[in-house]
Amino acid sequence: MDQESSFVVVANRLPVDRVTTDAGSEWRRSPGGLVTALHPVLSGQKATWVGWTGAAADRHENDLEATEPFELDGIRIRPVPIFQGEIERYYEGFSNSSLWPLYHDAVESPVFKRRWWDEYRKVNKRFADAAAEVAGPGATVWVQDYQLQLVPAMLRAARPDLRIGFFLHIPFPPVELFMQLPRRADVLQGLLGADLVGFQRPLNAHNFLQLTRHVLGLRPRGDCVELPDGRLVFAGAFPISIDVAEMEKLAASDEVVQRAAKFRADLGKPKTIILGVDRLDYTKGIERRLKIFRELLAEGRLSVPDTVMVQVATPSRERIEQYRSLRVKVEREVGRINGEYGRVGVPAVHYLHQSYSRTDLAALYRAADVMTVTPLRDGMNLVAKEYVAARVDNAGTLVLSEFAGAAAELRQAFLCNPHDLDNVKDSMLRAIHTEGADAARRMRIMRRHLKTHDVQAWAESFLTALDRTGRTA
C-alpha cells in the first residue's frame, strides 16, 4: 500500500493488541479514546495508522514481516518495529524519564542522558519514514504526542506536499523549565515541521510560541509564527475529551447498574465511597491523596466503616525506577492506613493494582459517592470526564485538581490545589457533605458541557483547523 492513504495517524502505540488464542495469536482492536475519535475519519477514507505494537521487535525476524501492513476492523495498520535497546533509550529513557517529568512541572526530577537522544531521533526517523511511505500525494498526517516530536520536521523534509498536524497530550512547560532540556532547539524545530501544533490548554500553546522566540529568535504573532522560509506554523488549544455517548450508554446499562450495586454491597454498604482511578504515575498525586485520607481518619473527621476509599492504580512503566519506588511508597501508605484504621473484614482502603474492563470502571464510577482526581499536573485527565459522563443519575461529586486540564471545563467540581493538603481536605469534606440537590445541579451542568464537547468534536475541531492552515499563508 505504498503512498496511497489520504489520511495518516502516527502515534507511538497502534490501536491494536496482540492476544494469544488457542489457535496461536491474533490482533485485536484495543479500546481507546483516540481510535474511537478517529474511527469515522479513518474508516471514511483511505487511511492508515502508523505505530508500535508495544512488544520488542525480534532482530532475527524478517524485517519485512515486522513492518508488513494489515487491516483490522476497517483500519489499516502499519507497524513500526522497536528493538529492546531502543525501548530502553527512546521510550523509557528520553520519552518517559526526560520529557515526561520535565513537561509535568518536574514534579519528579527529569533525568538526561546523552545516548538517549540519539535513539529518540533514530526511532522518530523510523516513524517519519513509515508515514512518508504510506501517505498519498497531499495527504493529511496527524502526529501524536511527546514521543514523536521530531516526526513533523522529518516528514516535511521528505514530503513537503503533506499537510501535517501535531497534538501534544501532555502539558507543554513554561520557558524556564523547557530551557533545561538538552537539544531543546532540535525539539522545537521538530514541532515546527507541522502546519498546526495542538495543545490541551491555551497556556501550553502560549509557552510554545514564546519558546520559538526565546530559543530560535523567531517572532510569533497572535496564534502563529512565521519561519525564515515564509511558512506559517499555527498553535492552539484543542482540549481532548471522551466518547460521551458510549460511556453514558454503558453506565446506564443493567449490567453496570447491577455491578455497581454489587460493589457497594461487597464494600459493606458504607455511607460514603471515595474513589480514585489512575495510572500508577507520580503526576497523579495518589500518595498525597492517601495521606489526606489518613489525616482525616486520624482527626476523626471521617471514620471507618462509614467511609471507605477505593483506589484503582493501573500498573504503568514498571521498568522505570521512579515508578517502582512510587509503587512501594503507595503500598506502604495503604498498609499503614489499613493497619491503623481498618477492622477485621473492613479495610479502610481497598487498593487494586490492576487494569479494569470498561464495564467494571463504569460500575465503580456509578458506585462512588466522591471521585477524587488530584494530579499535581495533568494534560487533561480523562478519568474525570469519564466519571461525569457515567453519572447519568446526576448523583456523586467530583474533587478535581486545578492542575488538571479538565479543571478548565469542569468548573462545578470541588476544585482544589493538590500542593495544599489542607485545601484538598476541605474540598473533600465539602464534596462528601454537600446536599443532594447541590450535587445534582453541579453534575447536570458538567454533563451538559461534556455532551457538546466530546472526543468526536475534539477531532473535528483539530482537523478543521488543520485544513485551514496553508491556505492563509
Residues that bind ligand ADQ (CB under 6 A): 169-170, 240, 277, 279, 312, 314, 355-356, 361, 378-383, 386
Q: How far is the CB of 337 from ligand ADQ (least distance, A)?
A: 20
Q: How far is the CB of 253 from ligand ADQ (least distance, A)?
A: 17
| Residue in 184, 190, 185, 126 with CA at minimum distance from that of residue 156 | 190
User: d(Cα 225, Cα 106) in Å, to the nearest integer?
Assistant: 27
Q: How far is the CB of 280 from ligand ADQ (least distance, A)?
A: 9
| Residue in 338, 345, 375, 293 with CA at minimum distance from that of residue 107 | 375
The residue among 323 and 341 lying less far from ligand ADQ, judged by its C-beta, is: 323
Q: How far is the CB of 107 from ligand ADQ (least distance, A)?
A: 12
The residue among 89 and 385 lying less far from ligand ADQ, judged by its C-beta, is: 385
250-255: Cβ within 8 A, 24+ apart = 250/358, 250/359, 250/362, 250/390, 251/362, 251/365, 251/366, 251/389, 251/390, 251/391, 251/392, 252/392, 255/359
The residue among 105 and 226 lying less far from ligand ADQ, judged by its C-beta, is: 105
Q: How far is the CB of 124 from ligand ADQ (least distance, A)?
A: 19
Strands 16-21 and 24-29: antiparallel
Torsion angles phi and psi, residue 88, rounded to 5: -65, -40
The residue among 141 and 383 lying less far from ligand ADQ, judged by its C-beta, is: 383
The residue among 47 and 312 lying less far from ligand ADQ, judged by its C-beta, is: 312
332: which 3 cell numbers? 506502604
User: d(Cα 336, Cα 54) in Å, to the nearest integer?
Assistant: 36
User: d(Cα 102, Cα 62) in Å, to the nearest integer?
Assistant: 38
296 burial level (CB within 10 Å; 0-12, 13-18, 19+): buried
Q: How far is the CB of 186 from ligand ADQ (least distance, A)?
A: 23
Task: Check: CB of residue 423 under 8 Å from CB of residue 417.
Answer: yes
Q: How far is the CB of 360 from ligand ADQ (least distance, A)?
A: 8
Q: How far is the CB of 378 from ligand ADQ (least distance, A)?
A: 4
N residues, the chain: 473
Q: How far is the CB of 106 from ligand ADQ (least distance, A)?
A: 15
Q: How far is the CB of 240 from ligand ADQ (least distance, A)?
A: 4
Task: Check: CB of residue 308 under 8 Å from CB of residue 347.
Answer: yes
The residue among 302 and 370 lying less far from ligand ADQ, judged by its C-beta, is: 370
The DSSP H or E segment spanning 397 is strand 397-401
The residue among 42 and 242 lying less far from ligand ADQ, judged by its C-beta, is: 242
319: which 3 cell numbers? 521498568
User: d(Cα 370, Cα 414) in Å, to the nearest integer?
Assistant: 10
Task: Check: CB of residue 149 under 8 Å from CB of residue 190.
Answer: yes
* Amino acid at site 330: V
The DSSP H or E segment spanning 216 is helix 202-216
Which segments of 85-244 are extended strands (E)? 135-144, 163-167, 196-199, 224-226, 232-237
The residue among 46 and 350 lying less far from ligand ADQ, judged by its C-beta, is: 350
The residue among 77 and 170 lying less far from ligand ADQ, judged by its C-beta, is: 170
The residue among 292 and 406 lying less far from ligand ADQ, judged by its C-beta, is: 406
